Structure 1
Amino acid sequence: MNKTFTRLACILFLLIGTMKMGFAQTTSISGIVSDKLTNETLPGVAITVKGKTIGTSTNSEGRFNLSTSEKTPFTVVITYIGYKTIEQEIAGSVSNLEIKMESQSILGQEVVVAASRTPERILESPVSIERFGLAAIRETASASFYDALNNLKGVEMSAQSLTFKSINTRGFNANGNTRFNQYIDGMDNQAPGLNFAVGNIIGISELDLDNVELLPGASSALYGAGGINGTMLMTSKDPYTSQGVSFSLKSGINHVNDPLQGSAPFKEAGVRVAKAWNKFAFKTSFSFLEADDWQAANNTNFDRTSRTVKSGNRSSDPNYDGINVYGDEVNSNMRNVANSVQSATNAGVAAATGGAIPNIIGMITAGLPVTSTPAQIGAFLGNFPAALRPTIQNLIPFNFGLRAGLIPDQSVSRTGYNEQNLVDYNTKSIKTSTSLHYKLSNTVQAVLQANWGTGTSVYTGSDRYSLRNFSIGQYKLELKGQDFMVRGYTTQEHSGDSYISSILGSYINEASKASTTWFPQYVGNYVGARSAGAPDAQAHALARTAADVGRFQPGSPQFEAAKNTIKNTNISSGLGARFNDKTNLYHYEGMYNFTGALKEAFELQVGASYRRYDLNSAGTIFDDLNREINIDEYGAFVQMGKKLADAFKLSFSGRYDKNENFEGRFTPRITGVYTVAPNNNIRLSYQTGYRNPTTQNQYIDLSVGGGSTRLIGGLPESLVKYNLYGNKPYTDVSYRSFLASASAGAANPALLKTYTFTPGGVKPESVKAYELGYKGLLGSNVLVDAYGYYNTYSDFITAVEVFQQNGTSFTKFGVPVNAEGKVTSYGTALGIDYLIGKYNLSGNISYNNIGDIPVTYVNDFNTPKVRYNLGISNRNIVKNVGMNVSYRWQDSFYWTSSFASGDVPSFGTVDAQVNLKIPSVNGMIKIGASDLLNKYYVTSYGNPEMGGMYYVGFTFNQ
């Protein structure tokens, strides 16, 4: 990290040294801004010098002061959400300037940056874009602005816990979405060890958020690897134009009528301080959230071999494996257990007698019929030394059971623990951000920024991960001007006390009684019960009860002691569930806009970037226990645009990227915008995108599912490490057929079919995306936005589960691979905003579907075909009182992931809020609810059901 900032500091000082710094006479402007109709003063109005980064904002009384060395005359621009922008020429210093602002409709007037990396009206964006501005942030009915993003057109969300939510657009949703990029103030917000953003747990404070821009669809041509299905940019407030002290308090309850627990409080608080002088400015923000998390309690029986739901529960299925039950992933075949006991005992007796009794199994088989009475068994045992009799007596039931056919070809699983007994549901989130700003000139600014956060949450990957006290820090040094930007930043990840729930459950079982003891006890007691005439189901129940004697009960001192030891011991030791990830990311990039230098003959931007992933998990996630792993990436892009006549603008973007483990990629984008009438535009685009296999796709080496599966990277070196090229594994389909034949009494090895991995291993996936859209104003009070898209994916990154045979046992591996053939998806969306007087009626509907898919591809489209949102809002129903109500509905769909697969039912939910503005203290009281009707729903299979959250909050000077 020190090297990062040493290099950046050198660059900055060189740039500063070459900058011409002139001194001019200072011009001072002061005044007051108010509403033209009501004469009420307006706090938070932005006053900026046109074309410059110089500016300030009004205080709680609507007053402002601005000093600048800008040469007169110049123009100041006065902007405020919901009001017409005013431009006023300044010829010299002036005091007591009175500015009257007139309210207006702002439909279609927003300015966006993300679509072209340069400011443009949202109506003229060359690709689909959604924007969430200050007014929407302040007046959202959801518990947070991040939750409210779900109401944007085409946006969906997978919620693994109260604070861990993954955003997605246009299909292929995931719990941790590696196909969607998230940036905060230009910094990639991903956790480097995961390659996706951890929701907004370690993100941006709502008080400091200025706007959100979201690009559905591919965006690699401008933003590089990732973002194959979308990119979101969150921008914080400028301390020069948003000054003063702000704070917010929010308190509420959730878990109302929750069958898993009683109602519980949640609380949230935040503060922001910003101050600017002539050239220097700073800001700092802090936010805190604490709550009881939603609990996952899907106890549906799951077949991890076929990855499908199966019938039965713990009482009816001896091999029960509950989705949110952990430790029951460990199982054994009863006949295999009996044979193992026989083999081990036979070897033990032979060793104890020096070979005098080489085959005790044969002696029992020859000397004792399965109908032998206790007296006959006693007489038989009398032939052996007293020290051996208990061992031989323990062997007899297994021998009898196999000979009499009493032991079924049935797998049994250990008794697991429910998730709520293992996972930390004490959710918290602490976020802080501080930045220092210095103006080197009227248009050039240096920024030093530090964002840091810590939290406790739950994440669903291939397992349920209890993220305890993890932290992420992002530290940036940036120099930016009107036409250029150069920045460097680092992301420092620390997993804290995080652990894997299934491993914890399995190891608590092992601590109470080793599986090498538990399974023989189960089989032995089952045989005894069956021999006594008990039916099969009763025999299984008696066997489990006997084997579970001494099992640590949740909440007991023994359970808690084992739990604390295991969850605080690293996975790499073979004794713990804790992962110890300190993976870091280092990123450098620069961009220059030549458009001004070219006299605006055409638009031209160029940029380049370099990135390094520094993997540090101490062998608890990656294959880095005894070596250092770094991954280097670099890339460059160019974008050109030209307006042809007044009605058509054409632009081209192209980017080349190279990851050291894969071949380089070129991703072009071509867009056209045709103005059919003022404020009415048709857009057409061809975009491409790609994403590299994640750091885990490349280098993971981790046991999950209670030890039942080993996840490994898809690079050739990982496949060589486990000899998957030489000792070819079997496909999961053929392995299941083999097991079925064994259960029928005649195992048929001919059913096993080998799986062949490609010599080069996994490689990047790519997409070609076509879109046709329209956005326009119909009159001044109706905004329409519609689009249709068609995507074609190549080398889609999926995963296979294979079974490698070593002797008589099989090892299950999960390996990322590329699907053969192409995967297609398509969809359309329509959004309408309609202003009727003071009311804003809004609605949008989206349709997404997947086309024909290769037989080798596991369908994880994970997206409802139909989603729609309806909303009504009024910022001023009566004086100082506003409201906002939104309804969201989505269709049912089938969810597939490495953790679990199953049906997600359709649901609809209502969010609502009413607010009271208090101008005298520049504050606002808001009373609201997410899921007002408290209808519990789940967004993705295996994750918790969520219900209503009811809150009251106060915000000062937002």
Structure 2
Amino acid sequence: MRTLLSIFAMLVCAGTFAQTDVSGTVVDEGNNPIPGVNIVVVGSSTGAVSDFDGKFTLKVTQQPPFKIQASSIGFESTTVDITANNQDVTIVLKEGNELDEIVLSASRTPERIRESPVTVERMDARDIKNSSAPSYYDALENLKGVDVNTSSLTFKSVNTRGFATFANTRFMQLVDGMDNSSPALNFALGNLLGMSELDVSTVELLPGASSALYGANAFNGIMFMRSKDPFKKQGISFYAKTGITSSENAGDNNFLDFGLRAAHAFSDKFAVKASFSFLNGTEWYATDYTNYNGSTGDAISGTRASDPNYNGLNIYGDEVSTTLNFDALAMAPAGTFGSSAVSRTGYEERDLMNYEAESVKADIALHYKPFADDFTIIWNSKIGRGNTIYQGANRYSIKNFFMQQHKLEIRNKNFFIRGYVTAEKAGDSYDTRFAAINVNRRWKSDQQWFTQYATGYLGAITGAIPGVTPGDPSVAHAFARGLADTGRFEPGTASFKGALDTVTADGDLLTGAKFIDNTKLYHSDINYNFSELIDVADIQVGGSYRQYVLNSEGTIFTDYDGPIKYDEYGAYVQVQKKFMEDKMKFTGSIRYDKAQNFDGNVSPRISLVFSPDEDKKHNFRASFQTGFRNPTTQDQYIGLDVGNAILVGSAPDNLDRYRTRPITNNFPAGLEAFGLDRIVTLSGNDAYNNSFTLASFRAFGASAAAGAPNPGLLEQARFDFVKPEQVSAFEVGYRGIVYDGISVDVSAYYNAYKDFIANRTVIVPNYGNVDFSDITDLTPVGGAPTPNALIAAANGDFTPFQLYSNSQADINSYGLAIGVNTKVFGDFDFGVNYTYAKLDFDQASDPDFETNFNTPEHKVKASFGNRNLFENFGFNINYRWNDAFLWESTFADGTVSARSLIDLQINYSCKKSTFKLGAANLLGHEYVSAPGVGTVGSQYYISWTINQ
């Protein structure tokens, strides 16, 4: 026993002797303390973080001498020698410039931003702290060349270099290496499954094509969000924000946003972190009631009072329309009462949604370093649930939408291998257009409603209705609508709420509006950097594999008989080499990708960075790369009737599966005897093989309206099945310090697109062949031999389909961006940038094609602020302006007005707390990001952050 006690005492003494205590303070060149600095023992994972006063303490299980390194965003790293136990050190960090910032995304390896082979925009935790935007995700809009389009309070779509939609499938968003996109929708739902701003370490954004390293869909830009390391950033952090959103149509509404992050390293081998955030508020109201032509999608004049066929943009249910031939119904001679297109009375969007915006996110990560070095095993689980609004072909109430991601990753500085799964559930989400249509139908069928309308109109126009002035069509239409609307469910009543609840819980679009989605995505990545094994150059190789499992139970996709599975994979190699005494850096990479339904794609990239001066204050770059985008899950497998058109994906097996609901034709009674079917169904093959182009059908309709129908105007639609689109991207740029602390970043690009994926609207006759090969002799009923397809066109017996193909037109875009940052008036930060973006497309070369470029030609952004205006106080002002531009989409086309916005914040820091008072859109210049979305007003907030 005595021997054991002696051995134990020796071990305790040895352990005590081996421990070294180091303490100190980190300051800047003005002797001001710097909080949040990472201090690590060189060669190990042992570390600490400086507190609000810049102080830190390290307990190291090794004897001196050794080195510690201090690093912080915005400062140059500094190494200090530790030569004795209980040593107290003062570490002075020199403020770095923008050229010294480290980025990882451009080449999948850490490099100074000045050496980046392509344009990179960057935001870090320090920028977030000083941002005037209500959230870090909103602050992305202040980056050069970046557009953020607002679909709702909680759904914002990030985009670069044009071709923006809210379904932004050309832009990729990665969170700690995981694709943040919805598996079924193929685009990110804003920050629904992103990260709490307390856990954001850096955000890097690459405008333009990035397929050579990141594969399919890294086509028009890619954003990387990286979280904080729980070994380096420990402790508990908290923020709370509250304030109001204010707009003319929605009034003033409160919002609440708070978050919590906790991280702890139990040892130098094991650390855990968790974060949670919650936001609740009121959506921006969509109240644009512009009248739109239901057939062409063009805005037209007229209100419900003046146009019987009124189709308001944010009014739903009025898409149900028919042409009433009052002469035929009254059995009167042609021209007696005429005819009129009439639509049902719809409901405003705000009656169909409760407009409650909500976002709940939670994240947990376990980090294990079995050898106490940089070899790390990470398990990460993320969940998100929320209510938001998405605008696609229709407006969708995304209610209780749920997404989750689970990742296992093994990595060190030279390699990583990761696999993750993304799963989603649509929750109680529904289509507002079909909600209105089927609420209407629950109290009165379309046939009953239109019959009553016609009866009321004829009675009023002929004077058969007492008290109604005869002979006035406008009076007769008003009376007819009032008669047909008798018994209508009025918003706010129990009957309306009951009908809406029933419809939105029903997944059959004949009677309901709910959409069902339980789609999953499985993905794996691997990358290895041979830089420590091969001296001649830095060489990386890697690859990826992805499988989609589409499961909508037939409500979105044609997965009527079970989930649809398909996969894609890719591999790449990259070589980097420096020449001319490290003044020239070459980067070359090439990637091969293959998707199940398409031929393989090869994506090369070549770039040069030239830094002629020894200090590398001037850096010139040039690159050529190609990118490609695989058709999305919807491009291939959708089968969805959205009311004004039927969306059908072009995968060959999808065309065979899709069948429409039974369609009732409108031709006059008696034509059944000539072989025409009153009720028909159409297939996806009809859309591709038996349809007219939209432009020719419109031209034919115009000739018919003029009294001289010309069948020769009609052209058969001949579109191939969709295939991947490609882009060849050329870019040159300069980043450097031009004079006394003035930094300049300039880039110019030219993109040439091939096989641009196009949404095509075609017109399918419900009967008859578009080549006019089948003819019906209508002589017995006073007509003439007529092709069946023309009979269908004359009687409105046709169905619009939206299909997916590729444009053969020459589509190019080009632009430039220039940013200048400097200090003014001593230590005030000032930055200004300008972006130019131009589409080069001849509409005449493809009349039916809409490019959806959807970005302003000119944008100017500026910032002015001071982090230390005086003791503990700082402020920042952001200004944004863009000119008017055309927005094209399947929902609506229209011009988005120019806008000029100012955001402002002032902050006060005290110990570990920061208080911020801010306003987004301070001057209240209300705007919309696109036709049909909510009108964005002002957002005023106050926040309290602890230990960020």
| TM-score greater than 0.5 by the shorter chain | yes
**AA paired with 2:71?**
T
Residue 99 of structure 2: SS of its match in structure 1? coil
Match status 1:246 vs 2:183: no
Aligned to 1:215: 206
Q: Aligned-pair distance for 1:530? A: 1.9
Of all paired residues, the percent bearing the same amino acid is 42
How do residues 386-401 of structure 1 correspond to structure 2 at under 5 angstroms? 398-400=329-331
Distance 1:138 1:166, change over 3 A: same
Separation of aligned partners in 1, 2:877 and 2:258: 24
Q: Aligned-pair distance for 1:625? A: 1.8
Cα distance per residue 1:456-508 (max 9 Å; x no partner):
00010111010000011111000000100000001111111100010001111
Q: Aligned-pair distance for 1:811? A: 1.4
Match status 1:326 vs 2:286: no
Separation of aligned partners in 2, 1:158 and 1:273: 32
Q: Aligned-pair distance for 1:858? A: 1.5
Aligned to 2:633: 695
Aligned to 2:178: 187
Residue 527 of structure 1: SS of its match in structure 2? helix
Answer yes or no: is the 8 Å Cα contact 1:249–1:954 preserved in 2.
yes
Aligned to 1:613: 548
Match status 1:740 vs 2:731: no
Answer yes or no: is the 8 Å Cα contact 1:885–1:913 preserved in 2.
yes
Aligned to 1:10: none
Q: Aligned-pair distance for 1:719? A: 3.4
Cα distance per residue 1:343-382 (max 9 Å; x no partner):
xxxxxxxxxxxxxxxxxxxxxxxxxxxxxxxxxxxxxxxx
Match status 1:658 vs 2:648: no
Q: Aligned-pair distance for 1:727? A: 5.4
Residue 718 of structure 1: SS of its match in structure 2? helix
Aligned to 1:907: 899
Cα distance per residue 1:931-956 (max 9 Å; x no partner):
01111011222211101100111100
Separation of aligned partners in 1, 2:453 and 2:710: 27
**AA paired with 1:410?**
S
Aligned to 1:363: none
Aligned to 2:620: 682
Separation of aligned partners in 2, 1:27 and 1:931: 55
Answer yes or no: is the 8 Å Cα contact 2:38–2:48 preserved in 1.
yes
**AA paired with 1:831?**
G
Gaps of 5+ in 1: 1-22, 340-397
Aligned to 2:439: 508
Q: Aligned-pair distance for 1:752? A: 2.9
Distance 1:725 1:531, change over 3 A: closer
Answer yes or no: is the 8 Å Cα contact 2:687–2:803 preserved in 1.
no
Match status 1:938 vs 2:928: yes
Out of 828, 849, 871, the residue aligned to residue 839 of structure 1 is 828
Separation of aligned partners in 2, 1:80 and 1:611: 36
Aligned to 1:16: none
Answer yes or no: is the 8 Å Cα contact 1:30–1:63 preserved in 2.
no
Separation of aligned partners in 2, 1:304 and 1:89: 75
Answer yes or no: is the 8 Å Cα contact 2:20–2:62 preserved in 1.
no
Distance 1:555 1:406, change over 3 A: farther
Aligned to 1:143: 134
Aligned to 2:305: 315
Aligned to 2:430: 499
Aligned to 1:891: 883
Match status 1:269 vs 2:271: no
Match status 1:649 vs 2:553: no
Distance 1:832 1:271, change over 3 A: same
Separation of aligned partners in 1, 2:725 and 2:17: 57
Residue 226 of structure 1: SS of its match in structure 2? coil
Separation of aligned partners in 1, 2:892 and 2:43: 53
Distance 1:25 1:230, change over 3 A: farther
Cα distance per residue 1:255-309 (max 9 Å; x no partner):
2xx3323211111111100001221000000001000110111111112322221
Q: Aligned-pair distance for 1:405? A: 2.6
Q: Aligned-pair distance for 1:409? A: 3.8
Out of 511, 514, 519, the residue aligned to residue 583 of structure 1 is 519
Q: Aligned-pair distance for 1:96? A: 5.0
Distance 1:855 1:27, change over 3 A: farther
Aligned to 1:85: 77
Distance 1:44 1:716, change over 3 A: same
Residue 676 of structure 1: SS of its match in structure 2? coil
Separation of aligned partners in 2, 1:870 and 1:449: 37
Out of 428, 439, 460, the residue aligned to residue 369 of structure 2 is 439
Out of 137, 151, 169, the residue aligned to residue 178 of structure 1 is 169
TM, length-normalised to structure 2: 0.88
Separation of aligned partners in 2, 1:505 and 1:436: 47
Aligned to 1:375: none
Distance 1:863 1:38, change over 3 A: closer
Aligned to 2:759: 799
Moved more, 59-68 or 165-174: 59-68
Distance 1:516 1:99, change over 3 A: same
Moved more, 620-629 or 581-590: 620-629
Please report the RMSD computed on the Cα atoms of aligned residues, expressed in angstroms: 2.0
Separation of aligned partners in 2, 1:638 and 1:780: 40
Distance 1:944 1:530, change over 3 A: same
Match status 1:157 vs 2:95: no
Answer yes or no: is the 8 Å Cα contact 1:282–1:434 preserved in 2.
yes
Separation of aligned partners in 1, 2:132 and 2:292: 37
Answer yes or no: is the 8 Å Cα contact 1:338–1:523 preserved in 2.
no
> Would you say how many aligned residue pairs link Structure 1 and Structure 2?
865
Q: Aligned-pair distance for 1:749? A: 4.4
Separation of aligned partners in 1, 2:254 and 2:745: 40
Q: Aligned-pair distance for 1:740? A: 3.3
**AA paired with 1:668?**
P
Separation of aligned partners in 1, 2:223 and 2:36: 25
Gaps of 5+ in 2: 1-14, 464-469, 659-682, 768-791
Q: Aligned-pair distance for 1:542? A: 1.5
Separation of aligned partners in 1, 2:86 and 2:275: 32
Answer yes or no: is the 8 Å Cα contact 1:334–1:407 preserved in 2.
no
Q: Aligned-pair distance for 1:123? A: 1.2
Match status 1:302 vs 2:292: yes
Aligned to 1:781: 741
Out of 531, 536, 539, the residue aligned to residue 476 of structure 2 is 539
Cα distance per residue 1:518-538 (max 9 Å; x no partner):
112112221222222322222
Distance 1:626 1:149, change over 3 A: same
Residue 657 of structure 1: SS of its match in structure 2? strand
Match status 1:205 vs 2:196: yes
Q: Aligned-pair distance for 1:741? A: 4.2
Separation of aligned partners in 1, 2:182 and 2:327: 47
Match status 1:469 vs 2:469: no
Distance 1:53 1:743, change over 3 A: farther
**AA paired with 1:469?**
N
Distance 1:219 1:947, change over 3 A: same
Distance 1:194 1:35, change over 3 A: same
**AA paired with 2:299?**
V
Moved more, 744-753 or 429-438: 744-753
Greater relative CO (CA pairs within 8 A, separation 6+): 1
Separation of aligned partners in 1, 2:295 and 2:886: 18
Out of 903, 910, 917, the residue aligned to residue 909 of structure 2 is 917
Out of 917, 926, 941, the residue aligned to residue 927 of structure 1 is 917
Answer yes or no: is the 8 Å Cα contact 1:247–1:271 preserved in 2.
yes
Residue 856 of structure 2: SS of its match in structure 1? coil
Separation of aligned partners in 2, 1:252 and 1:456: 19
Separation of aligned partners in 1, 2:64 and 2:739: 39
Out of 716, 731, 738, the residue aligned to residue 754 of structure 1 is 716
Distance 1:266 1:96, change over 3 A: farther
Cα distance per residue 1:847-877 (max 9 Å; x no partner):
0001133324323111100001011010001
Cα distance per residue 1:717-768 (max 9 Å; x no partner):
333441327851111122223333444456554443221232xx10010100
Answer yes or no: is the 8 Å Cα contact 1:295–1:944 preserved in 2.
yes
Residue 540 of structure 1: SS of its match in structure 2? helix
Answer yes or no: is the 8 Å Cα contact 1:67–1:278 preserved in 2.
no
Moved more, 895-904 or 720-729: 720-729
